[in-house]
Amino acid sequence: MRIAALQMSATAGDPAANLARIIAAAERAASHGAELLVAPELALPGYGAGPAMTALAEAADGPAAKRLAGLAEATGMAIIAGFAERDGDAVFNSALFVAPGGERHVYRKSHLYGAYERELFAAAPPAAVTLDFGGLKLGMLICYDVEFPENMRRLALAGAQAVLVPTALPAGDYAAFIARQMVPVRAFENQVFVAYVNHCGADPLFAYAGLSGVASPDGRLLAAAEADKALLLFADLDPAAYAASAAANSYLTDLRASS
Q: Does residue 222 contact residue 215 with C-beta atoms inside 8 Å? A: yes
Phi, psi of 246 (to 5 degrees): -65, -35
Q: What is the pLDDT of residues 18-75, one digit of tens each?
A: 999 999 999 999 999 999 999 999 999 999 999 999 999 999 999 999 999 999 999 9
Q: Write the CATH number for 56.
A: 3.60.110.10
The one catalytic residue among 109, 117, 147, 200: 109
Choose among 239, 163, 153, 243: nearest CA to 195: 163
The one catalytic residue among 35, 41, 58, 147: 41
Q: Which domain holds residue 180?
A: 2-258
The one catalytic residue among 58, 143, 147, 200: 143
Q: Which run of H or of E encompasses 201?
A: none
Catalytic site includes residue 229: no
Q: What is the pLDDT of residues 192-248, one digit of tens each?
A: 999 999 999 999 999 999 999 999 999 999 999 998 899 999 999 999 999 999 999
CA dist 77 and 134 (Å) reads 10
Into how many domains does the chain fold?
1
Catalytic site includes residue 200: no
The pTM of the whole model exceeds 0.95: yes
